[in-house]
């Protein structure tokens, strides 16, 4: 009986260890951005009147606590705007931001390699030469399986103000929910222990039956 209890305890420890390793929230991401105005051709350097957008490459960067901030004054952003020249009327124009993820691989809809998301923003003049871009803040959600980890992550692009004569970074937030894919070999010890538990229990019952 003590032997059976010991095996059951060992099985419980293995299950608990596996559960502790089953979930992690850290994910490495990388990609690049491009943009376009008013439905035109996308590029890494596009302009509308005196407003210029330069696309960029971001990452590889790893989430911390399941989150990753892009932009906000840092170099790891979603591209940059500069506003120069004579103040013009921008209200009514639109800007499309294309974000292409190259890492992680195995993203659903990306052919196992890359996948892109489109965020549309409404451009508006604020007066004194300042501009505001009101992006659609609906998160784009991606599911992935790269052979080592699986899960999902989302990207939200923040609204932004653009100051004349300054470089203004496009910022966003990535949230990730990731789980490692268990290896087949990791199940073998548990199966062995459970088999031993069953054999020990059967042996114990036979001993009880013979004693009776």
Residue 28 has a pLDDT of 93
DSSP 8-state secondary structure symbol assigned to residue 146: -
Q: How far is CA 161 from CA 16, 102, 171, in A?
A: 49, 28, 11
Residue 9 has a pLDDT of 46
User: Which residue, 204, 169, 131, is CA-closest to 33?
Assistant: 169
Rounded CA separation 88/155 (Å): 31
Bond preceding residue 135 cis, omega within 30 of 0: no
Domain borders along the chain are: 28-181, 185-211
Written as tens digits, the pLDDT of the chain (212 aa) is 554 554 444 444 444 444 444 455 699 999 999 999 999 999 999 999 999 999 999 999 999 999 999 997 666 899 999 999 877 889 999 999 999 999 998 888 655 557 889 999 999 999 888 999 999 999 999 999 988 889 999 999 999 999 998 889 999 999 999 988 876 554 445 555 556 556 656 656 666 666 66
């Amino acid at each position: 009986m003590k032997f059976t209890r010991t095996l059951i305890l060992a099985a419980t420890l293995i299950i608990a260890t596996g559960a502790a390793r089953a979930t992690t929230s850290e994910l490495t991401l990388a990609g690049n951005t491009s943009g376009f105005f008013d439905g035109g051709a996308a590029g890494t350097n596009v302009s509308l009147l005196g407003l210029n957008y330069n696309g960029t490459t971001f990452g590889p960067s790893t989430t911390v606590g399941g989150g990753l901030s892009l932009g906000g004054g840092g170099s790891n952003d979603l591209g940059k705007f500069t506003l120069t020249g004579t103040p013009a009327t921008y209200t009514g124009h639109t800007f499309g931001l294309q974000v292409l993820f190259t890492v992680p691989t195995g993203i659903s809809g990306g052919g196992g390699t890359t996948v892109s998301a489109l965020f549309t923003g409404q451009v508006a003049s604020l007066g004194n030469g300042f501009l505001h871009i009101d992006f659609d803040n609906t998160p784009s959600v991606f599911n992935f399986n790269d052979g080592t980890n699986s899960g999902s992550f989302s990207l939200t692009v923040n609204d932004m103000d653009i100051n004349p004569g300054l470089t203004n970074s496009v910022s966003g937030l990535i949230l990730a929910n990731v789980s490692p894919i268990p290896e087949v070999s990791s199940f073998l010890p548990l199966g062995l222990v459970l088999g031993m538990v069953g054999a020990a229990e059967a042996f114990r019952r036979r001993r009880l039956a013979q004693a009776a």
